[in-house]
Structure 1
Amino acid sequence: MKHFLWLLTLWLSTVYAAQAQKITVLTYNIHHGANEQGRLNLIRVGQLIREHKPDLVALQELDSATTRSYGGYQMQQLANLTGMYPLFGKAIDLEAGAYGIGILSKYPILASQNIPLPNPDSTEQRVILCAYVELPNQKTIRFCNTHLDHQSRLNRGMQLAMVNQMLRVSIQPVIWAGDLNARPDEPGIQPIWNEWQDAGVRSKTPTLPHGNARIDYILTRRQSKFTLLKYEVLKEPDTSDHQPVLATYLLK
């Protein structure tokens, strides 16, 4: 009987391990591929991604064929540097090109969405970019990226509310990452903590060093099938004005 129970436990553990999927996520505001001194360093961003081997990457402040980036398509350049699938989400027109956010995925992107977010104060338009990604175990997750308004608290609050409402009804497990331009204790962001788990909730490390603020996040729905294994703010002082954030999950 003991032998049977041991075999059963071993079999169940094997089945669970086969069904579970480890997922590492990186979010990074890359300041259009330039550091604070204006030196272009997109190659370093690609190196950083290769070093940490994330499965999914959310990138903010991306240029696409703009004059200041010498006409380069930064998402495609990063895809070439990392060997990952690229997805660009245009937010605004800029310098004969476009400016927005992007996603890199180690796994195929089956579908995507790029949706404008509320902008009642008529500041810079923001969007939410989502990728439906097929994992090796043939499960699909929804990975979303946002870069919210830094000027208007009204806009930011409405953008948070819209994203929360939109992702609340997702059929697929959701990871939401990006630069929310809000500290965790800001009144406008408080309502989402009832429904979202902040991977860095116990972290005191700022993601915006000069502002001494943590405004870059990786979030999962409470009661979701994601278990957080590790969270880290990476030290990368000379690449952007933000620090990259890395989190690893187990998806049951």
Structure 2
Amino acid sequence: MKVLKKVLKILLFMSVMLVAEGKELRIMTYNIYGGRLANGIKLGESIKKYKPDFVSLQEVDRNTKRSNFRDVTFDIAVELGYNYYYFQKSRDFDSGEFGISFISKYPVEKIYAYELPSIGVEKRQVVIAELEKKEFGKKVMIINTHMDYKKEIKKEELESLSMLNGLFESDVKFLSGDLNLLPNTEYYQTLTKEWKDSYFEGKDKEMRSIEDPRIDYIFGDYSNNWKVKKSFFIKDDTQDWTKLSDHFPYMSVIDIK
């Protein structure tokens, strides 16, 4: 009986710890430069060791001459061993398509796609993935986008993003992607009225500055349903990351509470 009581106490303690820590969600955003420097297999091999659960990709080729008529998102998903992925076209390109995409370890219940105000041939896209609620016990939505670098359209893009954010109800929402804006700009200040920057949450936040040059982000909503454990750009010495893309992957390890 004493042994049984000890076992029950241990199990109870473990369950309390699990509730307190929440379930981990590892989000990565990566502008892959159209796969100009590395194909999907190489890109997948490179990020696999970091075990991302959800990968937001920008500048993605699909069935282009440049990609040897490969679906780059599919190739990365296969390398990661994940079954859930989606591509959204921004423009026709090189006998194929060019756009943004995502890859998910977890089942995706719903996908929404929208076009931001755009200048030029490339129509800037927003893709929203709603993960199956059973995975986290909460409704989790992850937004992926690649905003324009042109200043004259930035305000309209941000207004559209804000409108989309208001349209969707969710327990937890994340905004990820290449936003083509620096953190010391008015555009960043506009974003942070609705979103918390994961870069300044969790481990090492005291060592970081608003002046750090970056345009790749993972933001979270202002709910209390998530907590960043750590966030980082991947540029270790396991390989020369500049030979894969002109961007580094950015990752946030998050507890969904």
Cα 1:65–1:223 change in 2 (3 A) is same
Distance 1:106 1:168 in 2: 27
Cα distance in 2 for partners of 1:31, 1:204 equals 26
- Percentage of pairs with the same residue: 29
Rounded Cα–Cα distance in structure 1 between residues aligned with 2:102 and 2:75: 13
Pair 1:31 & 2:40 matched:
no
1:1-252 equivalences under 5 Å are 11=12, 14-15=15-16, 17-18=18-19, 20-35=22-37, 40-84=38-82, 85-119=84-118, 121-122=119-120, 124-134=122-132, 136-150=135-149, 152-172=150-170, 173-201=172-200, 202=205, 204=208, 213-235=213-235, 236-252=241-257
Counterpart of 2:234, as a letter, is L
Considering only aligned residues, what root-mean-square deviation do their CA atoms show, in Å? 2.6
Question: Could you tell me how far apart the structure 1 residues matched to 2:136 and 2:197 are?
Answer: 26
TM-score (norm 2): 0.83
Count of paired positions: 236
Equivalent-residue separation in structure 2 for 1:99 and 1:168 (angstroms)? 28
Give, in whole Å, the separation in 1 of the partners of 2:182 and 2:208: 11
Closer, same or farther: CA 48–199 of 1 in aligned 2, 3 Å? same
Once the 2 structures are TM-superposed, how far is the Cα of residue 195 of structure 1 from its aligned partner? 1.7
CA distance in 1, matches of 2:72, 2:252: 24
1:105–1:238 distance in 2 versus 1, CA, 3 Å: same
How many angstroms does 1:98 deviate by? Answer: 0.9
- The alignment partner of 1:168 has SS state of helix
Distance in 1 (alpha carbons) for counterparts of 2:188 and 2:121: 19
Q: Secondary structure at the match of 1:237?
A: helix
Quick one: distance in 1 between partners of 2:181 and 2:248?
15
Q: Is the 8 A contact 1:34 1:42 kept in 2?
A: no
Structure 1 residues 16 and 174: alpha-carbon distance in aligned structure 2, compared to 1, 3 A threshold:
farther
Q: Secondary structure at the match of 1:78?
A: helix
Q: Match of 1:217, as an amino acid?
A: Y
1:95 partner amino acid: D
In structure 1, distance between residues paired with 2:75 and 2:94 = 19
Distance 1:177 1:130, change over 3 A: same
Deviations 1:171-191 (A, max 9, x none): 221111100000011122321
Q: Alpha-carbon deviations, 1:28-74, whole Å to 9, x = none?
A: 00011123xxxx33222101231100111101000011121121111
Provide the rounded CA distance (Å) in 2 between the counterparts of 1:86 and 1:49: 16
Stretches of structure 2 lacking an aligned partner (at least 5 in a row): 1-7, 236-240
